[in-house]
Amino acid sequence: MALYDTRGHRLYLNAEERDAVMAQARKRSARDRTLIETLHFTGCRPSELIEITPARIDLSGGTVTIRSLKKRKDAKGSAKIVYRAVPVPPLYLAPSTPPMASEGPRNQRNGPMRQSGTCRAFGFGRSSKTS
> What one-character-per-residue DSSP string does 18-56 give?
HHHHHHHHTTS-HHHHHHHHHHHHH---HHHHTT--GGG
d(CA 100, CA 44): 27
Q: What is the pLDDT of residue 97?
A: 44
Closest CA to 88 of 111, 112, 114, 122: 122
Alpha-carbon span 126 to 84, nearest angstrom: 26
Q: What is the pLDDT of residue 28?
A: 92
Please report the pLDDT score of residue 80 as a whole number: 85
Task: Give the pLDDT means over successive 10-residue stretches in the chain (131 positions).
Answer: 87 90 91 91 92 92 91 81 92 62 41 42 46 36
Q: Which amino acid, one-letter code, is at 90?
A: P
Residue 35 burial (10 A CB sphere; 0-12, 13-18, 19+): buried
Residue 121: its pLDDT value, please?
A: 52
For the chain, what are the domain ranges?
15-96+105-121
Which of 72, 123, 57, 119 is CA-nearest to residue 94? 119
b/e code 96-121 from CB counts within 10 Å (16+ = b): eeeeeeeebeebeeeeebbbbbbbbb
